[in-house]
């Protein structure tokens, strides 16, 4: 029996594919990851009372697969609620605040205010506002009129009316 040693020559295309298939596959996966997966931050803000709702979303092919929502009420919303005229949030405006391709979150981030304007609203401001609302039942419609006209000076004057004296507010230190 005679052994014949010969090698079958592969076609040129198959040799090239064997050489480039892993780099091409890696490149295509990288493109999918960069353009197909995003992290977005969508902010909705009520123009009347300045309430903010922030939605953090992970998206695959622009379809949200995970969402976390945080709401930030404003002091104006608290005051309207306590005067008996809560905001209906009819004038909400939505904006795509930032989008990170490949779900890479930049180290600087997208910072917004994360607390209400008045840190001690329930302790200091709320009793004063509830007392004022009992004495002046027209205060809610007056303030709502300022809000609808976007009269910021008059709204600021209402805030100053409820602002406590600095001597009455306890100062807490972080020791």
44-77: pLDDT as tens digits: 888 878 888 888 888 888 888 989 998 888 888 8
Higher model confidence: residue 162 or residue 41? Answer: 41
Higher model confidence: residue 51 or residue 148? Answer: 51
Band (pLDDT 50/70/90 cuts) for residue 141 is confident
90-117: pLDDT as tens digits: 778 787 777 777 766 554 445 444 334 5
Model confidence pTM above 0.95: no
Model confidence at 6: pLDDT above 80 = no
17-29: pLDDT as tens digits: 778 888 889 899 8
Reduce the secondary structure of the chain to three states and give it as a string: CCCCCCCCCCCHHHHHHHHHHHHHHHHHHHHHHHHHEEEEEEEEEECCCCCEEEEEEEEECCEEEEEEEEEECCHHHHHHHHCCCCCCCCCEEEEEEEEEECCCCCCCCCCCCCCCCCCCHHHHHHHHHHHHHHHCCCHHHHHHHHHHHCCHHHHHHHHHHHCCCCCCCCCCCCC
């Amino acid at each position: 029996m005679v052994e014949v040693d010969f090698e079958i020559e592969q076609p040129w295309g198959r040799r090239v594919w064997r050489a480039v298939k892993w780099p091409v596959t890696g490149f295509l996966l990288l493109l999918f990851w960069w353009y197909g997966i995003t992290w977005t931050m969508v902010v909705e803000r009520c123009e009347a009372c300045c309430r903010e709702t922030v939605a953090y979303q992970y998206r695959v092919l622009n379809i949200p697969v995970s969402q976390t929502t945080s709401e930030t009420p404003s002091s104006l919303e608290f005051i309207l609620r306590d005067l008996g005229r809560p905001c209906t949030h009819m004038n909400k405006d939505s904006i795509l605040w930032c989008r990170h391709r490949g779900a890479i979150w930049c180290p600087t981030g997208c910072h917004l205010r994360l607390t209400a304007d008045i840190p001690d609203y329930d302790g200091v401001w709320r009793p004063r506002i509830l007392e004022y609302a009992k004495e002046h039942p027209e205060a809610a419609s007056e303030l709502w009129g300022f809000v609808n006209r976007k009269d910021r000076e008059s709204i600021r004057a209402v805030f100053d009316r409820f602002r406590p004296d600095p001597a009455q507010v306890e100062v807490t230190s972080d020791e």
